Amino acid sequence: MMKTRKGYTLVEILVAASILSAFMLSIFLLFRQLTTSYRVGEWKASRQKEVQILMAMLKEDLEKANSAFVIKVSGEAERISPEINISINSLAFNPLEGGDKKLESNNTNQPVAYFAIIKSAVEASAFSELTSGRWQGCSLVMTSRSLNYLRTGDYARHSTFPVGLPGAVFTAPDSGVSAGGLFEPNNSNDSFNKVNDVSSVAFYLIEDGDKRALQVVIECRLVQGNIPVSSITESTVAGMLRDTKVVSVGM
């Protein structure tokens, strides 16, 4: 006697399909979560490295920032007008460590900080000709959500890229910067560095007796669909030369 093969009812098929769908959905969600975690981790590592490279360069240069001087025959150093300071956007500058000001990124170009690195000129004497000084301009500018740091001996580029030099900021001596002049351009180590996804930058003045330093804090944020997904914050502290001043400027 032949046995009749039992089939599956519609209810059983629907239940099995539901279980399979739930299983596949859980696998998909797990895969998406793992993919997102991987991308976030990759973003953090990449941005952290980029910010650290920019900060190392900025720290080194801030510690050399100065005005223009001419060494006289007498051995005295005479400052050439105007006084060249570390000029920082007033929205980003905190005169105290506990300040809460920070320049937040938006869809516009925002100057952040300007200064110069200048090797002194040496006055001509009866025994030697004039030794020209050497000039480099440094600029930190926010363009949309990118932070751009430029160090260059090309004054035209320094004063126009990626935005024009603010009118209240002075980074070169009145005598100008030109080949054969009192101060010549120093293009020996021009450099440009850019970090994307920057959400804010802030400066804090640190004073300890006659010692002064600047703390720089940069925050990067990963945004997906207008929703913040992750962020990193990096900081560095740069000591300053005794005669170098830090000024807050509206830019």
Instruction: Please check whether residue 85 is in contact with residue 118, taking contact to mean a CB–CB distance below 8 angstroms.
Output: no
pLDDT digits (tens, 9 = 90+) for 68-92: 999 999 999 999 999 999 999 999 9
- Give the confidence band of 33 by pLDDT, cuts at 50, 70, 90: low
Residue 19: band (very low, low, confident or very high) from pLDDT cuts 50, 70, 90: confident
pLDDT confidence of residue 201: 98
Q: Give CB contacts under 8 A, 24+ apart, made by 160-164.
A: 162/109, 163/109, 163/111
What digits encode the pLDDT tens for the residues 161-212?
Answer: 999 999 999 999 999 999 999 999 999 999 999 999 999 999 999 998 888 9
DSSP alpha helix (H) spans, the chain: 10-62, 155-158
Instruction: State pLDDT tens for residues 122-141.
Output: 999 888 899 999 999 999 99
pTM over 0.75: yes
Position 39 pLDDT exceeds 60: yes
Confidence of residue 3 (pLDDT cuts 50, 70, 90): low
Q: Distance of CA 165 to CAs 58, 87, 115, Å?
A: 18, 11, 11
